A = this chain, B = another copy of it.
Amino acid sequence: MISEASFIDVALRSWKNNVDRAGTFFSALSQEELQREIAPGKNRLIYLWGHLAAVNDRMVAILGFGERLHPELDAMFVSNPDKTVDLTLSPEKLKHIWDEVNERLWTGICNLSPSEWLQKHTAVSDADFIREPHRNRFAVLLGRTAHLAYHFGQAVLAKHES
């Protein structure tokens, strides 16, 4: 039990580090900087931030913490590519949503027991889970941590860092 908690602790730290790093980075950008593309013709920084907020918001439901908070993000940041839909929220509002979503998630994941981490997430069927028991909540956490790092690596390119 102590040992299981140690594995979870490491994963939570990794998640938190990646969320905080992204949050600090995006929150410090001006409205003008958020309009920058990460590379010519690619996504803008504001789109990446909204995309990460939307995907994290989806985790609320996938991890079984209840309904997600901001389904309206998907049309702007998930279902459609950047620059095809008007963004109807300000950077301040996005920052508020970012903090709200990640606090909701953090509260939820800090309260899961080891056995709950190994239960299936809500996006996998009972039948699939019998065949693939690794499709559990813990896998969602690690997958989304990598997803954050993937897009954060892109975001820093627009900020003249490497």
Contacts and interface: CB of A to CB of B under 8 A. Distances in A.
A157 B42 contact: yes
Contact of A142 (B11, B150, B151): B11
For the complex formed by this chain, how many copies does it contain in all? 2
Interface string A31-59: 00000001110110000000000000000
Interface residues of A, number: 41
Given A134-B10, A150-B152, A162 B114 contact: no
18 contacts: A6-B134, A7-B7, A7-B114, A7-B118, A10-B136, A10-B142, A13-B139, A14-B142, A39-B39, A39-B40, A39-B157, A43-B162, A142-B145, A146-B148, A151-B153, A153-B153, A153-B154, A154-B157
